[in-house]
Amino acid sequence: MSLTILLAEDDQELRLTLEEALSLEGMTVIACDSAETALDAAENQSFDVAVLDLVMPGMSGVEAIANLRRLQPGMGIIITTAFATVDTAVDAMKKGADEFLSKPFNLATLATTVKRVNVQRQPQPKLDDAAADKVFSALSNPIRRQTLLQLVRHRQLRFMDLCRLVGLEDHTKFNFHLRQLKQSGLIQQNVNKVYFLTTEGQQMCHFLLQESAD
């Protein structure tokens, strides 16, 4: 399914670059030069994800978040800025942004972030009782929760690297925990034996991170 992206960036050259990069990923991009224009577009068209520059003439990207949420509650929102600080990132997230990207960023990173935010904003599929029991069992153990969070940070990890990051020296015990996570459908291995999160695992980690932030 092609994603429809609302892009607000006042730097014309950068706006064209971002529009082209996302279009090459198969996304439909509506590009605007201000937050006000982006809000007008959101009143007339549905979007999956908005990518908003923080500092623009007139309304800022962060100031636009509340209006976008009112118009389209399910839309993912990413704030970008060349003036990143911890305080601005925290403020953007508190105001409702799903992600915060510091410029300059890799174009591949932007595309990956857009896709991840879209997945996170999707309604959670309802688990049947057996599947729910497996997931809750997997998350009941701190080692398994830490394993998921390490995969959020590093995307893909081999067994030994994952074991080291989690801080467990007993490889047999750690292998047992990995099997539990695989059986619950939260992680998988590729052909190179590298572990990564499934879509369900990514969604679950989103809620784990929310809980830890609270």
Nearest partner of 72 among 98, 92, 93, judged by Cα: 98
What is the pLDDT at residue 86?
A: 72
Pairing mode, strands 156-157 and 187-189: unpaired
- Same domain, yes or no: 113 and 135: no
Examine the fold and report which residue of 76, 105, 121 is the final residue of a domain before the chain moves on. Answer: 121
When the pLDDT of each residue in the chain is averaged and rounded to a whole number, the result is 85
- Same domain, yes or no: 13 and 109: yes
**Model confidence pLDDT, tens digit, residues 87-135:** 777 788 888 888 888 888 888 889 999 998 988 877 655 545 555 566 6
- Same domain, yes or no: 64 and 91: yes
| CA 84 from centroid of its chain's CA atoms | 18
- Same domain, yes or no: 82 and 177: no
What is the pLDDT at residue 214?
A: 46
What is the pLDDT at residue 2?
A: 84
Spatial separation of the C-alpha atoms in residues 24 and 34, rounded to whole Å: 23
Examine the fold and report which residue of 121, 156, 178 is the final residue of a domain before the chain moves on. Answer: 121
- Same domain, yes or no: 70 and 138: no
Please tell me the pTM assigned to this model. 0.58
Q: Residue 84 to residues 53, 100, 178, 204: CA-CA distances in angstroms?
A: 11, 9, 36, 28
- Same domain, yes or no: 68 and 157: no
Tokens of 121: 């904003």
> Residue 168 is part of a domain; what is its CATH number?
1.10.10.10
| Domain encompassing residue 44 | 4-121
| Count of structural domains within the chain | 2
Half-sphere exposure of 133 (CA within 13 A, CB side): 3
- Same domain, yes or no: 92 and 160: no
Region 192-202 average pLDDT? 86
**Model confidence pLDDT, tens digit, residues 16-45:** 999 999 999 999 999 999 999 999 999 999
What is the pLDDT at residue 210?
A: 53
Q: What is the dihedral sign for C-alpha 79, 85, 86, 87?
A: negative
Examine the fold and report which residue of 90, 121, 152 is the final residue of a domain before the chain moves on. Answer: 121
pLDDT of 84 over the 80 cut: no
- Same domain, yes or no: 152 and 170: yes
pLDDT of 213 over the 70 cut: no
